A = this chain, B = another copy of it.
C-alpha cells in the first residue's frame, strides 16, 4: 500500500454548466476560498473587517482539478482514489464522467480506478454552493436542512465565512486486490473490570482464503494477545478474544491514560502479506449515573419524573467533570492539523481539565484531536453537527444525517476519550423548537445504540436539570454571576460564560490603530464581536458599562483591558468553584468557551486564537486544581466599612484523602495584609468537599480599587487561593 500525493488547482463558476474561467493553485487539505484569496493577494481575513470580502465568494461552484500520473502497478495491485472529506456537497468526476455524488463532509469515500484511468487523466471535484435552506431569519437558519456545521454562517464569536472545499486528504493509493476494507474494534468489560471480551469485525475487499494475524500490545509494548486466524473463502471475519486484567484508561488526574495497540496483517493463500492495519485502543467503562441526591428529590403529587443522570462514572468511579466547550479552532477546517490541536489540548490538561464538550455548532474534529485526547486524558462530549436550529424532518435531511452520523460514530467510537454522544446544542429550547419526537434525534439515538451501545447518549444540552448560561459578569438587572450561581441548583453546568477582552498587544494585531481606543460600535470592534454579538445585547461581549460600573470610565485601552480581564477571571473563578461546591448534586462545570476560530476582541473564551491564553485561563486553571482552598463570597463589589463575608471551603476532586490541616485567610488592602481567620479542617474523603466557617471582616478605609483575599495552607503552595474584589469608598470623589 502506497500513497501518491495529487497536485490540485481550483477555480469557480456561478453556472455549473460552464467551467471556471481561471484556476489557481490549491492546497489540499484546505479551503477553496483561501486558495483564491492567496492567489488574488487578498489581505489576511482575520484582520480588521477583511473577512467581509469573502461574502462575494458565496454561492459559487468550486471546481478542483488534478492531472493524474498513474503509478506503475505490480501484478494484482489496484489503484484507488481516496477522498477523506469534502465540505459540503460535491461530485467526483474522472474525465468529466461522474464517479460519485455526495452530501456531507464527514463521510469518506474511495474508488478503485485501476481500469478507468490512464496517465494524464483529469480528476475533478465539483463543490456545490453552501447549503441554503432559504430561511434567512438568522444566519444559522440557512443550515437547517443540512449537516453543515452552522457556526460558519455567523455566530457571536464567528464571522460569517462559510468554507468550501477538500478539507481532508485526497490522494491516490495502491492496494493489494486483497486488503482490509474495514476494521471494527469493540469490547465488553466484566463488571469487576478484570477482563475484557474483545470483538473484532473485519471486512475484506473480496472473498479470500489465507490468514489474518493480529496482536494486541499493552502500553509497555508487551504483546498480551496474539492469534492467527485462517481464512477459508471469507470476506467477513469475526474474532473474539479475552484480555485479563487490562490496564485501564483514566481521565486526567484520575489515573494513567493506558493505551493498547492492535496490529493486523492479512496474508494471502501463499502466506504473503497483502495488507496491514493498526489501531490504538483503550479499555474503560463509562456510564452516566444518577447525581447524588437526585433520586431523593420527590415532589408532592402530582409528580413528574426525576432528572436524568449527569454524573460521569469511569471504571466505576464517579468523576467531577471539569472543562470547557470546544469550538472550531479555525474558520477554515481544512487548515487544521495536529499542530493546531496539540497546544490547545495540552493547555486543557494543564488547566486541570478532564473534559471538553465538542459543541454541535462546529465541525467534528479530525482524528488527531481524539488521539491527543486519548493520550492526555481529556474526556470528550461529542455532539453531532446540529445547533440552535429547528432542523427539518425531510427524508433527504434524515438520509444525510444518517450516513454522516454513522461515519462519525464508526470513525471515533474506539477512542477511549469519547464518553458522551450528544445530538447537538440547545435543540430543546424555544430558539430551536426541536423536541424528543424529532426524527433526527430518534435517528441519532438509534445509530449510537446500534454502533456504540456502551457509550451514553444525550439528545441535546441542556437536558432537564442541566443549566446553560448565564454569559455575563453582571446582567441588565445588576445581578452578578456570583449570586446567580449560588442561587442555582443544577445537576451540571455545561455552559456558562464570563466575557473578557483580549490582551492589548493581541488587539493591536487585528484592530487598526485608529480604531483601537475608545472601542466603538461598528467597524473592527463589532466585526470581532465586541459589540452587538449576542442577540439583544448591544454591549456584548466587551460590556464596557460593566467595567465602568465597578472601576469607573477607562482612560486607555490598557486600563479597559486590565479591568475587563479582572472581571472575567474573578467571574469564572466564582462560577467554577461554586459548581464544585455544589458537588455531589452537581457533577459538571464546563464553561463557554475554551478557544475561538479567529481573533475576537472580547469573548467568553479562555484562549485567544490560535492559542494565546487570556488571564482568565490562568484563573480557571487555579479553580480547577484537584485540591484547593476556596472562598464563597456572595458578591464581587464591597463598600468601605461594610462587613466582608466569605465562607471557607476545601475542595477535593481527586481520588485521594486529604489529611487534616489548617487554612489561614488573609485580607490584603493596598499594601497592608491582615490575618482574618484560621480553619482547622478534618480529613477529607476522596472526591469530597469540606465546608468551613465564614470569615467576617469590617472593611477599613484604604486607597485602592480592589482588595484581595488570600487562603494559605502551610507547606501546601498548590492548594492556596487568591481572590480579587472590587472596593468602593463610602463617599467617592467625583471623577474629573
Contacts and interface: CB of A to CB of B under 8 A. Distances in A.
Interface string A262-304: 0000000000000000000000000110100001101001111
Contacts of A442: 445, 449, 453, 457
A298 B462 CA distance: 13
Interface stretch (A432-440, A631-639, A641-649, A658-666): A432-440
Contact of A304 (B298, B435, B449, B464): B464
Contacts of A308: 428, 435-437
Contacts of A437: 287-288, 308-309, 456-457
Contacts of A470: 301-302
A80 B458 CA distance: 46
Contacts of A613: none
B290 A433 contact: yes
Contacts of A429: 298, 303, 305-306
B435 A303 contact: no
A494 to B, nearest CB: 9
B295 A463 contact: no
Contacts of A446: 445-446, 449-450
Contacts of A484: 301-302
A493 B462 contact: no
Given A437-B309, A446-B445, A465 B304 contact: yes
Contacts of A405: none
A469 interface: yes
Contacts of A298: 429-430
A488 interface: yes
A449 B439 contact: yes
A234 to B, nearest CB: 25
A305 B463 contact: yes
A428 B462 contact: no
A270 to B, nearest CB: 39
A460 interface: yes
A500 B237 CA distance: 64
A490 interface: yes
A466 B299 CA distance: 13
Given A308-B435, A449-B443, A453-B439, A302 B488 contact: yes
Nearest to A472: B301
A462 B430 contact: no
A496 interface: yes
Contacts of A288: 435, 437
A467 interface: yes
A262 B475 CA distance: 63
Interface in A594-627: none
A296 B430 contact: yes
Interface residues of A, number: 50
A277 B336 CA distance: 60
Given A301-B484, A445-B442, A445-B445, A428 B469 contact: no
Nearest to A294: B430
Contacts of A436: 308-309, 458, 463
Contacts of A490: 302, 304
Q: Which of A445, A460, A470, A485 has the most CB of B within 10 A?
A: A445
Contacts of A430: 295-296, 298, 306
B306 A467 contact: no
A12 interface: no
B466 A304 contact: yes
A511 to B, nearest CB: 30
B467 A302 contact: yes
Contacts of A458: 436
A126 B439 CA distance: 43
Interface string A71-86: 0000000000000000
Nearest to A470: B301
Given A302-B484, A304-B467, A442-B453, A295 B460 contact: no
A471 interface: yes
A468 interface: yes
A487 to B, nearest CB: 10
Q: Which of A449, A460, A466 has the most CB of B within 10 A?
A: A449
Interface in A60-114: none
A595 B446 CA distance: 36
A457 B288 CA distance: 22
A437 B422 CA distance: 12
Contacts of A301: 467-471, 475, 484
A287 B437 CA distance: 8
A405 to B, nearest CB: 13
Nearest to A426: B305
A414 to B, nearest CB: 20
A457 B309 CA distance: 20
A51 to B, nearest CB: 29
A464 B466 CA distance: 13
Contact of A468 (B295, B302, B450): B302
A464 B464 contact: yes
14 contacts: A295-B433, A301-B475, A301-B484, A302-B484, A304-B463, A304-B468, A308-B428, A308-B435, A308-B437, A436-B458, A436-B463, A445-B446, A446-B449, A446-B450
Interface of A: 287-288, 290, 295-296, 298, 301-306, 308-309, 428-430, 433, 435-437, 439, 442-443, 445-446, 449-450, 453, 456-458, 460, 462-471, 475, 484-485, 488, 490, 493, 496
Given A306-B429, A309-B436, 12 more contacts: A295-B433, A298-B430, A301-B468, A301-B470, A302-B468, A302-B488, A308-B437, A309-B435, A309-B437, A436-B458, A436-B463, A437-B457
Nearest 10 A-B pairs (CB), nearest first? A302-B467, A301-B469, A301-B470, A305-B428, A446-B446, A442-B449, A295-B430, A302-B469, A308-B436, A309-B435
